[in-house]
Amino acid sequence: EAQVTQNPRYLITVTGKKLTVTCSQNMNHEYMSWYRQDPGLGLRQIYYSMNVEVTDKGDVPEGYKVSRKEKRNFPLILESPSPNQTSLYFCASSSYTSGGFLNTGELFFGEGSRLTVL
Amino acid sequence: AQSVAQPEDQVNVAEGNPLTVKCTYSVSGNPYLFWYVQYPNRGLQFLLKYITGDNLVKGSYGFEAEFNKSQTSFHLKKPSALVSDSALYFCAVRDIVTSGTYKYIFGTGTRLKVLA
């Protein structure tokens, strides 16, 4: 079954304790991205990756890191979490044809990771 | 800058009535537009997209959307609402960042409530 898998689904942590939210997709998608969802703000993009070893900042990258060492995985790292990073996080992936933007581009989303930082 | 606006936080409609969820966009170049739905405690699911061609796009679960270039709108519609359509709906646009990269911009979401 085609899917995007995020772990953990729920996490409560304390300020400053490094954590990683994993994301894995089994669809051989080139494009992967992370979003946070906050009430009244919709989804905001944190980081995205066009392919292996290619990552770029989204609209709210502060306090986050990512890496893309393998095509299927795109972990989100919070080096020193703070309470303002309490949010619902989504990983998503999509495919594009080689050569750029003929991609039809719909995103496939994971089920979300609810993070609380105390 | 590219942007997406969903002017209504919530839309209420009676079951069986037609529904419309509004979306307007601001992009340079040709827009790639999407609608997604989010049910409680779930990730977003793709409903439909407009890339090019017919202005009326049909998608999943009986939804359709009308692309209007002059009004820069992409409203989501359904002829007859079901209680099970109650969910959070997001409009999104694909934004070309550079010649080799792109990202997606989402609206703030509209909660649809279908009343029995």
- Residue pLDDT, tens place only, B29-74: 788 899 999 998 889 999 999 988 889 999 999 999 999 999 999 9
Q: Tell me the pLDDT band of B94, cut-offs 50, 70 and 90.
A: confident
Per the document, the length of chain B is 116
Would the pLDDT of A93 be above 90? yes
Q: Which residue of B has its CA nearest to A49?
A: B101
Dist CA A47 CA A78 (whole Å): 12
A48 neighbourhood in chain B, CB within 8 Å: 101, 103
User: Is the Cβ pair B51, A112 closer than 8 Å?
Assistant: no
Q: Which residues does residue B21 pair with via DSSP β-bridges, in sequence order?
A: B76
Give just the sign of the alpha carbon dihedral A65, A104, A25, A12: positive
pLDDT reading at A19 higher than 50: yes
Q: Indicate if the pLDDT at residue B3 is higher than 80.
A: yes
What are the residues facing B22 on neighbouring strands?
none
Q: How far apart are CA A81 and CA A48, in angstroms?
A: 20
Give A105's pLDDT tier (boundaries 50, 70, 90). confident
Interface of B with A (CB under 8 A): 6, 32, 34, 36, 41-46, 49, 51, 90, 92, 94, 96-97, 99-109
